[in-house]
Amino acid sequence: MAVRILFLGPLADIAGRQELAAPAPLDWAGLLALVSAEVADQIAEDRVNIACGGRVLSDKRTLAAQDGDEVALLPPVSGG
């Protein structure tokens, strides 16, 4: 199996896709190496959160996705 990475909101536009499969295990450094430099710059910002297995990580640098996990890249939410 693999790790499923979901690009949400404007991150999907930047990545040019909505999802990507990655080999497991996947950590923070591996995620940054896997995505484009522009996406890596965006997800490294404090305002972007990462969820793994349905839980938002308090520190995205602790990402430790395993086979079958879903990693969602969560851009900041805005609205009125």
How do the domains of the chain map onto residue ranges?
Answer: 2-74
Q: List, for residues 41-57, the tens digit of each pLDDT value.
A: 999 999 999 999 999 99
pLDDT at position 79 is 55
Provide the token pair at 39. 């996406």
Q: Model pTM?
A: 0.92
pLDDT at residue 32 in the model: 98
| Among candidate residues 69, 68, 32, 67, the one with its CA nearest the CA of residue 48 | 32
In this structure, are residues 25 and 64 in contact, taking their beta carbons and an 8 Å threshold?
Answer: yes
Give residue 76's pLDDT. Answer: 87
The pLDDT tens digits for 13-71 are: 999 999 999 999 999 999 999 999 999 999 999 999 999 999 999 999 999 999 999 99
Fold classification of 2-74 (topology level):
Ubiquitin-like (UB roll) (3.10.20)
